[in-house]
Amino acid sequence: MLARPSVHLVRRTWDLMRELPAGRWAFSRLLGFYVPYSGTTGFLVDEIADGRAVVRMQERPGIRNHLDSIHALALANVGELTTGLAVHSSLPAHGRAILLGLTVSFVKKARGGVVATCGVGIPPEPGRHDVEATAEVRDAAGDVVTTVTAVWRVER
């Protein structure tokens, strides 16, 4: 698919890279370089669409806690990253977003791999809007382990 210059850089880059051999991996590493703290989690972006993002994270020693499960802040990080990708995927090329607040609910221990999913609607009107986006982080059994609700200030 050709890049659409009317959409945000995150979405244009995803649209260009996702179908290439190792494109999703390369996009994820590029994003991790651009957002280095999130990059430490070793996430992999599975999907970015209009107002939707899916990101997976595999348990590994660097993100494990003393309870032999994925650390709470690694779960919060992948949830926040997923909400940000969902928000940015709906912005126009000149749009921007900044995180205003974050609420995290830890439901159960997370072991193995997890998948964070977020769907959000952005108001179509130009101007400044505060948008609430929620990511559910699920384990391999499909159980919700963490819920991350982020408030993003978007400008269209």
Q: pLDDT of 37-77, one tens digit each?
A: 999 999 999 999 999 999 999 999 999 999 999 999 999 99
Contact 128, 155 (CB under 8 A): yes
Give the model's pLDDT for residue 13. Answer: 95
CA distance 82 to 40: 15
Which of 18-24's residues contact partners 24+ apart within 8 Å by CB, and which partners?
Answer: 18/48
Q: For 112, what's the count of Cα atoms within 13 Å in the CB-facing half-sphere?
A: 9
**Three-state secondary-structure class, residue 140:** coil
Domain boundaries, the chain: 9-155
Q: pLDDT of 104-141, one tens digit each?
A: 999 999 999 999 999 999 998 999 999 999 999 999 99
**Tokens, residue 55:** 């990101």
Fold classification of 9-155 is Thiol Ester Dehydrase; Chain A (3.10.129)
Q: For 36, what's the count of Cα atoms within 13 Å in the CB-facing half-sphere?
A: 0
Give the model's pLDDT for residue 6. Answer: 77
Hey, what's the torsion of the CAs at 139, 145, 149, 154, to 10 degrees? Answer: -20
Give the model's pLDDT for residue 4. Answer: 59
pLDDT surpasses 70 at 3 = no
**Three-state secondary-structure class, residue 109:** coil
Reported pTM: 0.93
What band does 1 get if pLDDT is binned at 50, 70 and 90?
very low
What band does 156 get if pLDDT is binned at 50, 70 and 90?
confident
